[in-house]
Amino acid sequence: MTAYAMAHVHSVEFGPDIVEYLERIDATLDAFGGRFLVHGNPTEAREGSWVGDLILIEFPDIERARAWYDSPVYRDILELRTRHMVADVVLVPGVPEGYRGADSLQH
């Protein structure tokens, strides 16, 4: 089942480390089947408020999302981002094909 890595980016100090991180992150995703779905596009808050950017990366399953985040190749560049960015980062499994909102009532 598809899974996602999601980041709510609150602030970024843009500079050489962030440039290097952005130049290297795609190569870290390839082996785990990861791909960007959203990367800092403008948001429209329809309820509540939203400050910052959203990044959403899709993976084939939660195991590969975890393996990517914990991989040596990603860990090698992680500090380039964390030293210059304030963000909340989560991994979350998706729902199965055909899922309906009322299905959550069965839990």
pLDDT in the model for residue 1? 93
Mean pLDDT of the chain: 96
Domains of the chain, earliest start first? 3-44+51-95 (3.30.70.100)
Q: For 64-99, what is each residue's pLDDT tens digit? A: 999 999 999 999 999 999 999 999 999 999 999 999
pTM value > 0.85: yes
Of 1, 58, 6, which is closest to residue 32 (Cα–Cα)?
A: 58
Share of the chain above pLDDT 90, in %: 92
Flag whether pLDDT at 107 surpasses 80: no
d(CA 63, CA 36): 17
The CA-based angle 41-42-47, given to 5 degrees, is: 125
pLDDT in the model for residue 103? 86
